[in-house]
Structure 1
Amino acid sequence: MRRKDREVTNQNAIDTIIENCKILRLGFNDNEGVYIVPVCFAHKHENGKRIFFFHSANEGKKVRILQANPVVGFEMDRGFELQTAEKACHHSAGYQSIIGKGIVSKIETFEDKQKALNLIMSSYTGKSDWTFDEKTLNVTCIFKIYVTELTCKENA
């Protein structure tokens, strides 16, 4: 990171920024090039590691790419605010952003899928006691991203 003065390293502050972001943008790479997709997500710490969860249909480009290459990049941001100045090149922006990399794995069991979906639903609704029928979960992929790199930056 070039601007170390904007780096956020406090893990509680990073958690708060993540919790206030609404969309996780995933970057994939295949033989056709880079593919970026926004997803709803949740996160937690598991055995000292940061993990993100997201869901998808059982088929499609995202699933095909992940089967071939489970390495992803991700980005999320919040709080964009234009900071104006007299000169055009002195304008800036206030923001908080997170950029990272990780390894994706598919969640297979009904119980683990339910837990992950409840975590995702809780991060958007505040409610974590949803029930999901087996038919729905059979056509839904739930993925975990094991974070391998993460940087957080803010400009107030």
Structure 2
Amino acid sequence: MRRKDREIIDKEKIEQIIQSCDCCRIGLVDKDKPYIIPLNFAYINEGDKQLFYFHGSKIGRKIDLINKNKYAGFEMDTNHMLKKSEEACKYSFKYQSIIGTGIITIVTDLNEKINGLQLLMKHYSDKDNWSFNEKIIEEIAVIKLEVEEITCKENQ
């Protein structure tokens, strides 16, 4: 990271920033071009593993690309605020951001799919004891991204 003065390395603060985000953008490769998708997400730190879960349709470009290439990038940002100035070049922006890479896969295990969906619902509702119709679960894709690299920075 070029701006070491903005780098966040405290793991608890990084997790707080992740939890304050509403959207995670994943970057996939489509032949020789990038393809970026904004998604609802859930995050869990399992000690030796940091995982993101997403959900969506079982068919489409996103699924096709994940099946072709297991590597993905991701980005999320939060706490935005414009910092005004009397000089145009001194305008700035307050923010916190997370950027990383990882291995992305389609979850096939029913219990892991349910767990991923529970985590998603908890992220957006703060409730973690949802029940899910198994027929509906079979009709949707749950996607897992296992983090390989992650960086965090803020401008306050």
Interval containing the TM-score (normalised by the shorter chain): over 0.9
- Look up the SS of the partner of 1:8 in the other structure: coil
Q: Give ranges in structure 1 of 5+ residues lacking alignment.
A: none
What does residue 43 of structure 1 align with? 43
- Where do 5+ consecutive residues of structure 2 fail to align? none
Q: Tell me the equivalent position of 1:67.
A: 67
Equivalent position of 1:146 in the other structure: 146
Pairwise CA RMSD of aligned residues?
A: 1.0
Separation in structure 1 between the aligned mates of residue 47 and residue 11 of structure 2, nearest angstrom: 15
**Letter of the 1:118 counterpart:** Q
Distance 1:18 1:79 in 2: 11
Other-structure match for 1:101: 101
Q: 2:74 is aligned with what amino acid? A: F
Deviation at 1:46, TM superposition (A): 2.0
| Per-residue CA distance 1:98-137 (angstroms, 9 max, x = gap) | 0111101221122211111001000100111111112111
User: Which secondary structure state, in structure 1, belongs to the residue aligned with residue 85 of structure 2?
Assistant: coil
The one-letter code matched in structure 2 to 1:35 is Y
Q: Structure 1 counterpart of 2:126, which letter? A: G
Partners of 2:109 and 2:52 lie apart in 1 by 17
Aligned-partner Cα distance in 1 for 2:128–2:31: 39
Return the alpha-carbon distance in structure 2 between the equivalents of residues 63 and 106 of structure 1: 8
Of 101-110 and 63-72, more deviation after overlay is shown by 101-110
Task: Show the counterpart of 2:135.
Answer: 135
Rounded to whole Å, the distance in 1 between the matches of 2:145 and 2:47 is 14
Describe the shift of the 1:60–1:152 C-alpha distance in structure 2 as closer, same or farther (beyond 3 A): same
Whole-Å separation in 1 of the counterparts to 2:66 and 2:145: 11
Greater alpha carbon shift after TM alignment, 102-111 vs 62-71: 102-111
Amino acid corresponding to residue 97 of structure 2 in structure 1: S
TM-score by length of 1: 0.96
| Partner amino acid, structure 2, of 1:83 | K
Q: Quick one: structure 1 residues 147 and 65, their matched pair in 2 at CA, closer, same or farther if it must change by over 3 Å?
A: same
- TM superposition score normalised by structure 2: 0.96
